[in-house]
Each structure stands twice: as structure tokens, then as C-alpha cells.
Structure 1
Amino acid sequence: MAPPTLFSPFTLLVLLCWSSASLLLCNGFPAFHHHHHHHPRFARQNYRDALTKSILYFEGQRSGKLPPHQRVTWRRNSGLSDGSAMHVDLVGGYYDAGDNVKFGFPMAFTTTMLSWSVIEFGGLMKGELQNAKEAIRWATDYLLKATVHPDIIYVQVGDANKDHACWERPEDMDTPRTVIKIDRNSPGSDVAGETAAALAAASLVFRRSDPTYSKLLVRRAMRVFQFADKYRGPYSKGLKKFVCPFYCSYSGYQDELLWGATWLHKATRNPTYLNYIQVNGQTLGAAEYDNTFGWDNKHVGARILLSKAFLVQKVSALHDYKGHADNFICSLIPGASFSSAQYTPGGLLFKMSDSNMQYVTSTSFLLLTYAKYLTSAHTVVNCGGTTVTPKRLRALAKKQVDYLLGDNPLKMSYMVGYGPRFPRRIHHRGSSLPSVAVHPAKIQCSSGFSVMNSPYPNPNILVGAIVGGPDKNDRFPDQRSDYEQSEPATYMNAPLVGALAYLAHSFGQL
């Protein structure tokens, strides 16, 4: 006689969904409750799950004293004496990628993009909004410490060369926690301009929920921007041996001055900043054809943001930025005149072999954001003779995000912990070494390399981490030593947060 079944079919479906192995089955569920007349009913990907994970990732990157509600439990406190070398408190902030250095330049950019994600799409994030704001605050609390003295910014903690000579957990760090700063004598308008942008953008995030904190952020942003503008120079000139080749400023600092002024214009509505943009926009490169948006070059982001002021707020003085933004969009549209973007055979935007996925996430975010502005102004993009609609931009962004999440020739999700198949050997010290809970004894600097070079999967899953991604032929070896393809980084995740919020909402998953 057959044994009685333990579960009814419905319970089984719920359990299956809960195990998230069969996402297709479950994604059908929420879509039926939403009557969005212009939204498709069905998505192949679970954007809501990906959104939750993309924000959770930041908890795994935290430095400092972890809060009681820390969800990534294989991490512990680290870097508790950071800053003491210079008698300043620099505890907190984020490790940028798979190492244990705190680089202020990409950290500030990450903060700006997390904030922009919340400013544009936070209203759609539902339960994840609070988590996104905590991720931002973890960064801004640190940036406030780093800018506590006027005309000084502490831009790095840790010696990258010595850090990279070890493979050790952040909790075991015993490499020098060198503190690197910029000041009037050794300026850094790029990192200072980005820090101003981050503080200004974050001030908008907290404007309603914590007005006191918001005012502190915006006042600090103004002071930092003034320093960036008055004492001009790239930070990698004076600090070359510390910041190069890691986060060398290759694009100059003009883009960060324009970007910082743009965010201050948005955050303060003070005419000083609009005037600054009008007077300096051209010399700061507003019209250049550098169509790469990432931690180093912010021109495209500034163009898109300033075009909003023209399109939505009707600031006619910024008319030209619509054209500048359109030029960027046209460069991405396959087949349009001026199109210059390369795509892999599987359809992924391909900019460069090292951490390419950062350009995929930042570009997807800009496409969705610009589509939002164009829609609200009832207008389109003009590419020579081709008209490109906001709908087309959204479709291109969705295609990129879907590829990242698993719609690709390898059927591999490039977000760790999402989907049935994802990278198991990411280039990340804490993830690859046994956690403190499992292995309380210290793991020495060089003994970790035996793990780094081993073929075994990482014991700690850094849920939500986006890795550098496949090569130009859609191949991905999943090797720990291959940092170009297997290393995750905060600035890859930050713009994706906004894109996922939009997609989750538009497919009725939130």
C-alpha cells in the first residue's frame, strides 16, 4: 500500500517556492494580484528576491563594529582601531571588494549610487527601503568621520600592496592600517568631489526620515565641495604609490567637480550651484564623448541628472544636457547612428575585461532613470534619424539585468546566492576562508593562500554579491584567482539596487 502523502499539492507548491529552487512556478503567484494595465504579467526572473540580496550583500562588506541586527552572521567585528595611526576615528565604512582596504574613492561613489537608487526608486522598494537606507548610512557615518576636519579628507585606510600580499579574513587583519589623506598641499578634487556628491545625495535620502542627519550631510557636502573646487588636482598625483594602480583617477577630476555641483544643486536648490554648472560645465567636460560611467568617470551620470532638471523641473538653462544625455544613450543602441557599444554574442554590454559587470549595472540604472525622466516629460531620444522611446530603453536595461541574473548562454547567475547556478569561488577573502565561528584561531597572512589556490567552493556564501562577470565570449571559469571575472565590488551592486527595485515593481513582485 502506498504511504499517505504528507503534503497537499498546495503546501508542496508553497514549500517549493520557499526553497526558491523553482522560481518560475512561484513568480506566477504575485503577478495575479496586481492589475497593472501596461505591465507584462510574467517575468522569468525574481527581481524581488534579487533586490533583497543585492542590498544584503553590503552587510558582508562592513568594516568596524557590527550592529546587533547584523544579518550576514559569518562576519565579525574588524578594523576597530582604524584611524588611530593619525589620531582620528575611522572605524566603520566598507571594504570595497575582496580585500580588506577601505578606499574612499569607490566607497563614496558607491554611496552616491545607492542614494540615487533610493531617490529614484525607493518609493517602490516597500520592505527593502529600510535596509537600503541602513546600507547608505553605514557609508555616510564613515564619510562624516573622514571629513571631520576642514580641508582634509581621509581617503584610505590600509596599505593595499601589503594587504594584497596576504590572504586573510578582515577579522584577522595584521597588515598596516596606514591612513592616507588629501589636504591643501596634496589635493584630490576627484575624491573630494565624489565625497561631496555622496553626502549631498544621501542628504536627500534622509530628508524626511531624519532631517537633523540630512542637514548635517548637506552642510558637510557644501564644505567638502568648496575644498574640492578651491584646491584642484587629481589625488593620484600626490598619493600615487598608495592609490595606484588600484583606484588611480584616470579620467581627471573635472567630472567629479561637475558631478558634485550637480548633486549640490539638486540637494540645496541654491542658485550658486546652477551658476557654477553654467559657467564651468563646458570646461569640466559636459559635452565630451566619454561614454563610460563608473567609479572613475561621472560625466554621463551628471548629464543624465542635469537633463532631469531641464526635462522635469523645466530649468531651461540646462537645455544642452538633454542632447548630451541623448548622445550617451545613442552610443548604446545597437544599430543606431553613433552606436559604439559592444555586446557579447549572448547580448551583454561589454566595456572591458576587468570587472565589466560594473558597467552593466551602472548603464542599466541610467537607462531606467532616463526612461523615467523622458516619460514624465512626454519626450523621446533622437539618434540621428532614429527615434528611441523610453520603452526601448527599459527593454535594453531589462535585457542586461536578466542576463546578469541567469538569462545567458551559461545559464549562470552572476549574483552570488541567486538562482540555482552562481559563482562558488569568488575572489573574496572573508567568503573563501572558514568563518571565525567555525575556525576561531587566527589564520596567518600567507597560510590563507592555500585556500585561495584550492579548487573548493567558498564556505561562506556572500549573498547578493555581483562578480566581474563573463568575458567577451560569454565564458566564465569560476576561479578564485581570476579577480577580473570573479571579484565582487560594492560599486557593482550599488546601481543595480535601483534597477531591481524598478523591475520588481513593474512586474508586480513588490
Structure 2
Amino acid sequence: MLTFPHVHRRPTRRRTRKRTTAALLTAALLSGGMALAPGATGLSSAASPSAAPPTVADPAATATTPVRVNQAGYLPDGPKRATVVTSATQPLTWQLRNASGAVAASGRTVVHGTDTASGEATHTADFSKYRKAGSGFVLVVDGQNSAPFDIRADLYDSLRSDAMAFFYHQRSGTPIEASLVGPAYARPAGHLGVAPNQGDTNVPCQPGVCDYTQDVRGGWYDAGDHGKYVVNGGISAWTLVDSFARAERAGNASALGDSTLRIPERGNGVPDVLDEARWELDFLMRMQVPSGKPYAGMAFHKIHDAAWTGIPTRPELDAQPRELHRPSTAATLNLAATAAQCARVFKPYDSTYAKRCLSVARTAWTAAKANPALYAPESDSTGGGPYNDTQVTDDFYWAATELYAATGERAYRDAVTSSPWHTSSGALTPTGFNWADTAALGRLTLATVPNGLPASDIRRVRASVTAAADGHLAMMAGQGYAVPIPANGYVWGSNSQVTNNAMVMATAYALTGQQRYRAGVLESMDYLLGRNTLDLSYVTGYGDTYARNQHHRFWANQYDASLPNPPAGSLAGGPNSGLQDPVAQEHLAGCSPAACYIDDIGSYSTNEVTVNWNAPLAWLAAFAAERCPPRD
């Protein structure tokens, strides 16, 4: 693979990822041979690519029309804007035509000028005043038609379900049932110790890390590989649980309640989104170092194969030995934060489980305080991404906020208020939060969950959220495609930065009821679903033209026709001007930042999928699907 987190910039530091073995593997696969990275298992006889490499589409040919719209559609009561690529210096006439070709609305474009991220000359067409539902609409500008789209209130209902179903597909340690996902996506349980798997039920540590084995079955495969990483799993589980908590506060919890998702636990009396998150939470708690062992209470940083596997490799056919990697402070604080959130949100549905979560969270917090600088090494990148992080004060802040929200105890409150992140403007930045930058999660929790902080402090925290949301809106207003990230922010996983910043805007809407924030969220979804320089939906199954070949070992149809493409609702990482894989380097040299993407399975730096990218997509889809009367 080739699954690593994206590169993220902070003002005070820069993280980079090493891809030496991974890059060699991809280059070998793309050459058409069967050479693999050192130590890889090879490709199963049941799922091996043909001798010739697949053809790669020219990314420059992706865009089919200069009129770029949300190809899935628009909500009747939401913004409806399109971007038109044109060198015209004067406004142009636009027409909204219905399925029969009749003109439903018309108007004039607004000249924007050059969009910095794409380098394109753009206009904006705004047809928000048209509020009638229908299907098969097209926007016509200067004789050019957009892709067809719908206008309907239930537009995001299916995406809410499909984006959440991603996590069931990614489950480790359980069969994926055809009755729930269809025969193409069904598979036996992976990594339970059934040959050729060596299993996750009795996993040894890397040499020198520990002298015992641990049962770390379950959880979600992180991305297109079979690794499981506590820091990436932590933010993903938190986001799913927060999605339910947000909906509950808004009075819409039933949409994510029991029997709303296609998972085995439906009908058990617990909201399905919490059942799905619990699959990961159970794994995260299994990663805690047992009492009586060195670093007791800490969390192992990750567990994955000893060496990179090839593409395709079905989970149940992965014969690699599995290894636990040494504990880290960051992983331990992720465990503390997510387990504390679990204690708070699960309590009405399973009080026994909530008590267990709180006990784990307290133990992890104490262990992290005792070991505040145990960092995952950047060099630990064979067989899995390093997920290294040497600044963990933000993780301490996040964990403290969750423990305080769960318990109200003074010690955790003091840890919150004494943290430099509590008043720092750097908690919510234009480039967004991610697995390595988690202070924003604490800020969002304090802004939305009732707590005992002074009223003046709560007002300041909430004002910081709305100020950040206003910054995102201002950034969108200055762009031809209204994207809530800077023009130079197209890095690894740029689409997750879009979604995470949209979560901030949605939180601002919840705090204020001001429609501009909801509009910002919906326009962010427009970008992901086709209103972009490539005229492409980055979400599988949604839109007229959408990504189909995300980087994945099982959803590997591009290499093996007997395997499926990714299921509907999977979000591609998106444009990445870093071009950190051979496919991107070969085909995207000289690309404008917003166009540095290729729908090819080998382009792991632009086209992989991960749990921490799909989690905010699911969060946003649930938000967008709510029937919300205006609150301004």
C-alpha cells in the first residue's frame, strides 16, 4: 500500500511520512510484474492481477463540462450554486431546465475571476431561489449543460446510510454478511487466526517491546490495508459517537437510532451508530497494556502486518504475521478521550458498558500523565504507517475535556483550564483538525456539551467556534469553487480537511441557528459531490461521474475483475499537490493544486480511503439529511 495519514501543516511544525517500501511495492505492481515489497506475502491465487497493468485515465480528460454542479443534487431549502469555467469578462445568462427541457428558472452569472487553486477563470451561477423538487435538472450556461442533478428534501438520506455502512465493510474479526452488503462485498472474517491468517487474538509485540501476547481482535481496518491504528481509530470513533450526540441535541436522534443501519446489531435497542462505534471502541480498549506489565494502562500504538502486503489481498487470505507496536502517549490519550466520551454518550443505553469505558479512560489518563513523552517513532513504517506525533499537549487537552464532560470532576477541569490550548487560537485553524491535531475536538465538546465552566469561559469557547466558521465562510467566498480550505491546502487527505472544517460550520449553526453556517456545510458537500475543477464526485456511487478505483486491497476491481469497486458512500482522499506516489508523479506532474488527483488504485496519496475521512462524511451526511426549518 500504502496507507498512511495525510501530511498536515501546523504553524509550529511539519509532519512528513516515509513511504520507501510502499513506493517500491506500488512501482512493482504498476510495472505489471508480481514483484513485492520485501517480506510481503504475495497475491492470493484467487485474487491476482493480470500480467498487464490497467490503463490509467488521463486526469485532464475527467472534466466533461465547464458547468460544475453538485451532481447528486441540492436541497430545496438550501443554497444552489454552480461554478462555470469561462474566460468571459461579462456575466452570462444561465437557465435551469427541468427533465422535460423546459426553463424552470433563469438569471445571470457573477464573474469571480481566477480561482487560485485550480487556475481557472470562473463565474458563479446562483439559483438558490428555485425551491421546487424534481429530478433530471440541468443548468445551461453559454450553450453548455451541467451534469444532471436532483432537487429534493431526501437528497442525503441514502448517503447518511451509505457513508456509515463504510465502517461495517471495514470491520475486522467478523464475517461481512451478504444479507447486509450484497454478495459482491461479502467476505469471511479476517484476522481471527483461521489459516492462512495468523490472527489478532494472540498477537505478539515487535521484538523488544513486550514478552507477552494480547487479544486485539475486532476494530476497523484503517484504510486500504489491514492495519489498525489507535490514533486514527480514536478520532474516527469519536466522530461517529459525536454524530449521534449532535443529532440527539438537535432532536433528530431517531435518524441514527436502532435499526437505521445495515449492521448485525440492528434491533438490539441501542442506536445503530453507537453499535458501530462500539466495534471500534472494544478494539481500542483491547489495546490497553494490562495491569502488572510495563507501561500498564498505556495503549499500544498500532497493530498491523510485519511487512506490506500486495494489492489485492483479501483480509481472510492475509498470511502475514501480525505485531503489536510499542505504546505511545498519543495513543493512550486517544483511548482516554474516546472511552470518556463513550461513558457519557452510552450511559442511557448501556450503563454497564459506560462504567467500563470510564474506568478504562481514567486508567489511560493516569498512565499518560505518568508517561507524557512516549512517542511513536517516525521510522516505524514497515507494514504500516508510523502515525508519529511528537506534540501531544493537544491530545492531553482533548482527553481532559472528555473526562471533564463525563465526570465534572475538578481535577479534569483544572487540566482543561490550565492547558495552553484552552485559550489558543490554534485549536481551530484554516487547515482543519485531524488525527494528529486534536485540540479542536476538545473545543467542540466544551462548546456543545453542558459543563461546569464559568459562563464567560463558555461564551469565549463558543465564540472561537463561530469565529473559525466565519473564517471558513470567508475563505469559501474568495474562491471559484467555494472550498473551505486554503488554495495551498491541497495535501494528503484534503477532502478530510474539507469535511472537518464543515463540521465546525455545522457546530456554529447548532450554536447560533444562523443559516449562513448551514449553507457553508452544504456548499462543502457540493464540492465533494462534483462542484470542483475535475467535475467529479469524490464519493463512490454519487453523481454522474464519480471515483471508482480508490486504493484498497479488497475493493480492487481495477486489478482483478472478480473483486468489487468500493461500495457507495466511500470518500476518496482527494487532490494532493505533494504527489507522493508513483502514479501521481507520472500522470499529475505540473497539476494545479485542486486538480492533483487521479482515480487510480495505485495512487495512494490522492485516492485512498480511510476511516477518519469517512467518519466526518457520515457526520455531515446525517447533518445535511435533517429536515431543518430556518432558524435565523
TM-score range, shorter chain: 0.7 to 0.9
In the alignment, the residues of structure 1 paired with residue 178 and residue 289 of structure 2 have an alpha-carbon distance, to the nearest angstrom, of 27
> What is the deviation of 1:133?
1.7
Q: Give 1:67 shift.
A: 6.8
* Further displaced range: 298-307 or 317-326: 317-326
2:257 to 113, 129, 133: 129
Distance 1:126 1:252, change over 3 A: same
Aligned-partner SS, 1:465:
coil
| Pairing 1:254–2:393 present | yes
1:441 alignment counterpart: none
Gaps of 5+ in 2: 1-70, 78-130, 134-149, 193-198, 205-212, 259-271, 291-295, 577-592
Cα separation, partners in 2 of 1:217 and 1:93, compared to 1, 3 Å: same
Identical-residue share of aligned pairs (%): 22
Per-residue displacement from partner, 1:411-468 (whole Å, max 9, x unpaired)? 43222123343211111111115xxxxxxxxxxxxxxxxx64x8x7962432321111
Asked whether the equivalents of residues 408 and 451 of structure 2 are also in contact (C-alpha less than 8 Å), the reply is no
Matches within 5 A, 1:67-466: 71-72=180-181, 73-80=185-192, 81-86=199-204, 87-122=213-248, 123-130=251-258, 131-147=272-288, 149=290, 150-159=296-305, 162-164=307-309, 167-182=312-327, 188-237=328-377, 240-242=379-381, 246-250=385-389, 252-279=391-418, 281-282=419-420, 286-288=424-426, 291=429, 292-308=432-448, 315-334=455-474, 345-350=480-485, 351-375=489-513, 390-432=514-556, 452=559, 459-466=564-571
Distance 1:398 1:176 in 2: 44
Structure 1 residue runs without a partner (length 5+): 1-21, 29-39, 183-187, 376-389, 434-450
CA change 1:95–1:309 in 2 (3 A) is closer
Query: Hey, what's the Cα distance between the residues in 2 that align with 1:231 and 1:70?
Result: 46
Give the SS at the match of 2:554. Answer: helix
8 A contact 1:100–1:163 mirrored in 2: no
Cα deviation, residue 163, structure 1: 2.1
2-side partners of 1:244 and 1:229: how far apart? 30
8 Å contact kept, 2:228–2:303: yes
Deviation at 1:256, TM superposition (A): 0.5
Kept after mapping to 1: 8 A contact 2:330/2:389: no
Question: For the Cα contact (< 8 Å) 2:298–2:368, is it kept in 1?
Answer: no
1:202: how far off? 2.2
Residues 465, 504 of structure 2: 8 Å contact kept:
no
Q: Which secondary structure does the structure 1 equivalent of 2:520 belong to?
A: helix
Q: Is the 8 A contact 1:236 1:243 kept in 2?
A: no
Contact 2:494 2:573 in 1 (8 A): yes
Which deviates further from its counterpart, 408-417 or 297-306? 408-417
1:359 deviates by: 0.9
Per the alignment, in what secondary structure is the counterpart of residue 301 of structure 2?
strand
Q: Would the aligned equivalents of 1:255 and 1:285 in 2 still touch at CA under 8 Å?
A: no
Report how far residue 204 of structure 1 moved: 2.7
474-483 or 85-94: which moved more?
A: 474-483
Structure 1 64/346 Cα, relative in aligned 2: closer, same or farther at 3 Å?
same
Residues 102 and 349 of structure 1: is their aligned pair in 2 closer, same or farther, counting only changes over 3 Å?
same
Partner Cα distance (2:221, 2:158) in 1? 24
SS of the residue 1:140 aligns to: helix
In structure 1, C-alpha distance between the alignment counterparts of 2:494 and 2:74, rounded to whole Å? 32
Q: CA deviation at 1:503?
A: 1.4
Cα separation, 2, equivalents of 1:481 and 1:342? 34
Q: Is the 8 A contact 1:83 1:177 kept in 2?
A: no
Q: CA deviation at 1:402?
A: 2.3
**1:203, distance to aligned residue in structure 2 (A):** 2.4
**TM-score, with length taken from structure 2:** 0.62
Counterparts in 2 of 1:220 and 1:69: CA distance versus 1, 3 Å: farther
SS of residue in 2 equivalent to 1:429:
coil
SS at structure 2 position matched to 1:414: coil
Contact 1:74 1:460 in 2 (8 A): no
Q: Which residue of 2 aligns with 1:479?
A: 600
Q: Tell whether the 8 Å contact from 2:408 to 2:452 is kept in structure 1 after alignment.
A: no
Match of 2:64 in 1: none
CA distance in 1, matches of 2:373, 2:132: 52
1:126 aligned partner, one-letter code:
S
> Do 1:425 and 1:458's aligned partners in 2 also have CA atoms closer than 8 Å?
no
Structure holding more helix per residue: 1
After superposition, what is the alpha-carbon deviation per residue over 1:238-271, rounded to whole angstroms, capped at 9, x for unaligned? x742489934334610111000111111122222
Q: Is the 8 A contact 2:473 2:484 kept in 1?
A: no
2-structure distance, mates of 1:113, 1:309: 14
Deviation at 1:135, TM superposition (A): 1.4
Residues 155-174 of structure 1 show CA distances to partners (whole Å, capped at 9, x for unaligned) of 311147x1255641211111
Pair 1:468-2:573 in alignment: yes
Deviation at 1:138, TM superposition (A): 0.7
Contact 1:310–1:317 (8 Å) recurs in 2: no
| 8 Å contact from structure 1 (residues 64, 92) kept in 2 | yes
Q: Quickly say closer, same or farther: Cα 1:61–1:221, change in 2 above 3 A.
A: same
Mapped to 2, the partners of 1:460 and 1:96 lie a distance apart of: 18
Q: Matched residues in 1 for 2:425 and 2:160: separation?
A: 34
Paired with 2:273 and 2:494, the residues of 1 have a C-alpha distance of: 24
CA contact (8 A) 2:227 2:384 kept: no
Q: Deviations over 1:128-160 (max 9, x none)?
A: 433312210111111121126242323311147
Q: TM-score, normalised by structure 1?
A: 0.75
The 10-residue stretch of structure 1 (119-128 or 459-468) with the greater mean CA deviation from structure 2: 119-128
- Within the candidate set 174, 195, 200, 1:65 is matched to 174
1:373, 1:26 → 2: CA distance? 22
SS of the residue corresponding to residue 164 of structure 2 reads helix
